[in-house]
Amino acid sequence: MNLNERIYKKLLQVPRGQITTYGELSKSVGLKNGQRLVGKIMSNNPYPVIIPCHRVILSTGKIGGYAFGENVKTKMLSDEGIQIENGKIIDLKNKFYRF
């Protein structure tokens, strides 16, 4: 299984209504400081409807980018019960998924 597949498979574990960070996802597949690489892989996600890359955010709590735009990412997260204010996750601690 290549790195992209390992990352996508891990991301499938993040349940609806929870989020993870690029760094946490990176660590979960054995990459140290691989946040940028994970971001690049997420930006090339061939199955965004199936592989929930919208659930990956920045470690600062900001939602970060999304291939279909930040407004779409915000809407998708909001629809899953994630509260966002000024582009930042509210109650990050209780919505955070650790692998």
- Choose, from 19, 53, 57, 89, the residue flagged as catalytic: 53
Q: What is the residue whose two structure tokens read 């990176």? A: 26
Compute the C-alpha angle 33/18/8, nearest 5°: 50
* E strand spans, 25-67: 56-57
- Tell me, yes or no, if 53 is annotated catalytic: yes
- Give catalytic residue positions: 53
